[in-house]
Structure 1
Amino acid sequence: MSDFLNLLGRSLIALLFIGGAVQKLTDPAPVKQMLQSVHMPAFAVWPLALFNLIAGLALVFGPGVKTWAIVLALYCMMTSYFHWQLRADPWQMTIFVKNWAIAGGLLILAAQGPGNWVWRG
């Protein structure tokens, strides 16, 4: 049961990143605008989409789940910066906290590992 729950948890977290990749690929304008608001190039949306896709798939299938979990935890912490809007938009603060909660789950995954249900290719 533990291995099943581990895979299910990894898959649910991975959906966020795979979905983020699809969103960036199909409607890049909002992310480009966000990137430009912090003086980053708009074209960075494309490598970010690729990163999201690869990282999400790596969480599900492995190998390197522990490493990807750490990298994604750091990514969640860094990208939460875009949502730090105390007074402008309260919903963004919810997303900020959610990013840190996801980072916490990823760090637990990094500590515990993927269990036995991972592709070891």
Structure 2
Amino acid sequence: MINRFEWAFGRYLLAILFIAGTAQKAINPDPAQELLVGFGLPEWLVWPALVFNALAASLLIAGKFLRAIGWALALYCFVTSVFHFVPSDPWQMSIFVKNWALAGGCLILSAASVSRT
């Protein structure tokens, strides 16, 4: 059986990360836009990413659609990890690995959501 406190606290901790991503993109979108442009993508993609981060955080906090949002966040973390695959830069590689770990946590959230319904 899943402990309610752990279940909620874990979701809130994940949500904080995506709230921070929302705030970073809103306050200073330039670094994210430069990253996108560096990969040949349009800089305006930062705005759908901001909306997705905010929506995902809100759903995590509310505890709604957790199976779907767990999968969506896992995919988002896998995709965005590509931007940080820079073997010559230990800091970027730590972000790359962090994104994969977050994807794993989001998949666990999704799987645990099935057992709660």
> Normalised by the shorter chain, which TM-score bucket?
over 0.9
1:7–1:114 CA contact under 8 A, matched in 2:
no
Query: Counterpart in 2 of 1:119?
Result: none
Shift of 1:3: 1.1
Go from structure 1 to structure 2 and tell me whether the alpha carbon gap of 1:108 and 1:69 turns closer, same or farther (over 3 Å shift).
same
Query: Counterpart in 1 of 2:33?
Result: 32
Equivalent pairs counted in the alignment come to 115
Question: 1:10-89 maps to which residues of 2 (within 5 A)?
Answer: 10-87=11-88, 89=89
1:28–1:45 CA contact under 8 A, matched in 2:
yes
Moved over 6 A (4+): none
**Alpha carbon RMSD of aligned pairs, Å?**
1.5
Output the amino acid matched with 1:35. Answer: L
What do residues 7-64 of structure 1 show as CA deviations (whole Å, max 9, x unaligned)?
A: 1001101111111011000000000000101111111111110110001111110320
**Counterpart Cα distance in 1 of 2:64 and 2:57:** 12
What do residues 71-110 of structure 1 show as CA deviations (whole Å, max 9, x unaligned)?
A: 00010011000110001x1111111111111111111110
**Counterpart Cα distance in 1 of 2:99 and 2:49:** 16
Structure 2: gaps (5+ residues)? none
Are residue 96 (structure 1) and residue 109 (structure 2) matched? no
1:69–1:107 CA contact under 8 A, matched in 2:
yes
* Percentage of identical aligned residues: 44
Q: Larger relative CO (CA 8 A, sep 6+): 1 or 2?
A: 1
Structure-1-length-normalised TM-score: 0.90
Structure-2-length-normalised TM-score: 0.93
SS at match of 1:93: helix
